[in-house]
Amino acid sequence: MDTTNILSTMPLYHDSMTYVDCAGDDTVAQELETYLKSHGFSAKADKSMIVVNENDIDHILVHFLKETNRLDYKIRKIDSENLLLSKEVQLEDFGFFRCEMCGYALSSQEELLVHRRAHGIQLL
């Protein structure tokens, strides 16, 4: 990730900063920048990456996701300065069906039924 450009625009805040990577989602980054600013933080978005002049922003991100109704997003801590904000992708969203016995993913309900039967045969 290239953070040099953002850094040079905020030279005063080197000590306590957090980078939030919005995983390629520029829209979320823009909204988050606005949100953080409206809550008194100094924030700057560069495409989908945001830099904030604050270390402890986990709880603010949680509020942001709640208030913007992004309940399927998750915040992951990469390290002390980097957070990743991304949508949790559920396999089922892409039309997959998951076997509850072994976790195997199948593309149709029929295949899943056949697959489940295979478990039954193995168990006999």
Binding site for Zn ion (CB under 5 A): 99, 101-102, 104
Closer by beta carbon to Zn ion, 87 or else 116: 116
Closer by beta carbon to Zn ion, 19 or else 97: 97
Distance CA 92, CA 96 (A): 5
CB of 88 to Zn ion, least distance (A): 23
Three-state SS letters, the chain:
CCCHHHHHHCHHHCCCCEEEECCCCHHHHHHHHHHHHHCCCCEEEECCEEEECCCCCHHHHHHHHHHCCCCCEEEEECCCCEEEEEECCCHHHHCCEECCCCCCEECCHHHHHHHHHHHHHHHC
CB of 95 to Zn ion, least distance (A): 18
CB of 124 to Zn ion, least distance (A): 15
Closer by beta carbon to Zn ion, 84 or else 99: 99
CB of 104 to Zn ion, least distance (A): 4
- Assigned token pair, 27: 């829209």
Ranked by CB distance to Zn ion, the top (closest) residue is: 99
Closer by beta carbon to Zn ion, 70 or else 116: 116
